[in-house]
Amino acid sequence: MKWYHAADGQAVGPVGEEDIQSLVKAKKIKAETLVWHSGMSDWQAYGDLKKDNFHIRPKATDITDTDAESLCSECGNSFSQEEMIRYGNSYVCADCKPAFVQKLKEGILPEDILKYAGFRIRSCAKFLDGFIITGGTVLLAAVFGIISSSGSGGSYVFQKILPYMQPVSMVIVIIYETWFVGRFGATPGKMICRIKVVTADGGRVSYLRAFGRYFATFLSGIILCIGYIMAAFDGQKRALHDRICSTRVIRK
Ligand SMILES: [Zn+2]
């Protein structure tokens, strides 16, 4: 196919397809440079033409070589991953990049772009929460201990309360998990680690879902915590309780 391209108001050509490629590389032909080849009704900017024609490539499933292809999250066309920029789990092609970066600046994030929090940071948050809850419970027990040792009246209170300590601390944990996740999307441990629980589409988690999610963590905890470890091997880094409750943990 013979091409013509505009240079200083003149039509230059005919040149071959390969010449066009090298002219593009040499920046002699830019996105706004007008080009024409037989079969085209009119001259067109090279960038626009590229968008219309060149983006139509075989789908990733048709490719048998190792060159991995992905769909651009903006225009939906297929490209080699090497030519694209990666953002979270999404790829954006070179042509869509400027508009995409602009969107990022304006804070308009596409829904499917969530930065999933990995197994390690989540374990770290879990550890911190455990530390906070245990610390709180010990403090509470110490307060009752002081009350009980400061007179017979206190001892009576302590004896009355002691049998309830176990269920009370259980209730504290449930309230801790449900209220913090429902209200802020994160427990204090998660806040420190700058991670957050969201719905599959990145939305807010309701109190009810947070409540259910807490109980679903029991399932993740049984059999050597396999349900938790699942997060390390999942594409969206979901633990078992995330799958059950349709939640994701993301980095803020
Ligand atoms: Zn694109």
Give the DSSP H/E element, type plus range, for residue 214: helix 207-229
pLDDT tens digit string along 227-236?
A: 999 999 988 8
Verify that 124 and 181 share a domain, yes or no. yes
How far is it, in rounded angstroms, from Cα 228 to Cα 242?
9
Measured in angstroms, how far is the CA atom of residue 69 from the centroid of ligand 1? 13
Distance of CA 217 from the midpoint of ligand 1 (Å): 39
Does residue 101 lie in a domain region?
Answer: yes
The 10s digit of each residue's pLDDT in 141-198 is 788 777 767 665 556 666 666 777 788 888 999 999 999 999 999 999 999 999 999 9
For ligand 1, the distance from its centroid to the CA atom of residue 52, given in whole angstroms, is 11
- Give me ligand 1 centre to Cα 248, in Å: 26
Q: Tell me the CA–centroid distance for residue 68 and ligand 1, in Å.
A: 16
- Helix (H/G/I), strand (E/B), else coil: 41: coil
The number of residues in the chain equals: 252
Same structural domain, 163 and 215: yes
pLDDT at 109: 58
Is residue 62 pLDDT above 50, yes or no? no
196 & 88 share domain: no
Distance between Cα 61 and ligand 1 center (Å): 18
Cβ-based neighbours of 24, under 8 Å, separated by 6 or more: 46
Tell me the per-residue pLDDT of 76-131, one tens digit each, with 9 for 90 and over: 888 888 888 887 777 888 898 888 888 777 766 555 567 899 999 999 999 999 99
Q: Strand pairing partners for 243?
A: none
| pLDDT for the residue 85 | 83
Most confident range, picked from 6-20, 25-39, 58-72, 203-217: 203-217
Angle at 48 between CA 42 and CA 53, to 5 degrees: 85
Q: Report the alpha-carbon distance of residue 21 to residue 11 in Å, rounded.
A: 17
Question: What is the rounded CA–CA span in Å between residue 117 and residue 111?
Answer: 16
In angstroms, rounded to a whole number, what is the distance separating the alpha carbons of residues 114 and 129? 23
Ligand 1 centroid – CA 99 distance (Å): 10
Do residues 47 and 31 make contact, with C-beta atoms less than 8 angstroms apart?
yes
Please tell me the distance between residue 219's alpha carbon and the centre of ligand 1 in angstroms.
41
pLDDT band per the 50, 70, 90 thresholds, residue 65 = very low
CA dihedral 133, 234, 241, 138 (to 10 degrees): -10
Question: Is residue 92 situated within a structural domain?
Answer: yes
**Same domain, residue pair 223 and 149:** yes
Ligand 1 centroid distance, CA of 96 (Å):
4
Check residue 51 and give its pLDDT: 65
Strand intervals (E) in the chain: 3-7, 10-15, 34-37, 44-45, 69-71, 78-80, 85-87, 90-92, 195-199, 247-251
**Threshold 0.75, pTM exceeds:** no
Q: Rounded distance, CA 53 to CA 40, Å?
A: 11
Alpha-carbon distance of 38 to 147, in angstroms, equals 94
Same domain for 239 and 214? yes
138 with 244, same domain: the answer is yes
User: How many angstroms is it from 71 CA to the middle of ligand 1?
Assistant: 8
Domain boundary, last residue among 20, 36, 54? 54
CA of 197 to the centre of ligand 1 (A): 30
Please give the tally of structural domains in the chain.
3
Residue ranges near ligand 1 (ion) with Cβ within 5 Å: 72, 74-75, 93, 96
- Residue 144, domain member (yes or no): yes
Beta-sheet strand order (sheet of 34-37)? 10-15, 3-7, 34-37, 44-45
pLDDT, residue 79, reads 86
Alpha carbon of 72 to ligand 1 centroid (Å): 5
Q: Which domain holds residue 87?
A: 62-106
Which is more confident, 101 or 251?
251
Q: Clarify whether residues 102 and 123 are in a common domain.
A: no
Q: What is the DSSP string of 79-135?
A: EEGGGSEEETTEEE-TTTHHHHHHHHHHT---TT---B--HHHHHHHHHHHHHHHHH
